[in-house]
Structure 1
Amino acid sequence: MPNDLPTPEELGEKLKRGEITKEEAIEVMSERARREALAGLYGPPATTPARGTADAAAGGRGRPRRWIGVVMVLAVVALLLWILLSARG
């Protein structure tokens, strides 16, 4: 199942020679595309960059900034609620 389907070039040659019909070529290409999509879906997870590389350093900075942003938004919401509730009482 891994690579038992003909390549697009092989399909083109078979089509020119009349060995297969256009519909058969379309079916083979559809099956190839489906297998490639499923392989990408269920394939191995993406590798993480090695420590000490520029990619690793850049990738690690996004999370703390994101958490700081979430904490700041929660703090502002809590402050606004406190102001609104203390003004009523």
Structure 2
Amino acid sequence: MNLEEYVNSTVTLYGIAEDAMAGPILVCGPSSHVYIEGLREWDDGDLYSAFAVTGMLVEEGDNADLVAEDGSSAHGIGRHYVVKNATWERIT
């Protein structure tokens, strides 16, 4: 799924609930995931379940954040997608 096409639009995305180091995500495909604003973490019973998440899709961050001043790799999440004003519903 090419999420870039939907930036700054209201979307409903379908995927699997997972927790990442930077917060809860919805995995929408092999290399597509979004962070969920307003959710601290998925409940244990909801992890790896299918959800529909609706809200405004925005792009945040910058991949330049992943490079330290000396040119070495830095830790971070770089450019990423966030669903703002999100609501979610478990579908399985």
The alignment's TM-score, normalised by the length of structure 2, stands at 0.17
Higher helix share: 1
Q: Relative CO higher for 1 or 2, CA cutoff 8 Å, sep ≥ 6?
A: 2
**Looking at CA atoms only, which structure, 1 or 2, has the larger radius of gyration?**
1
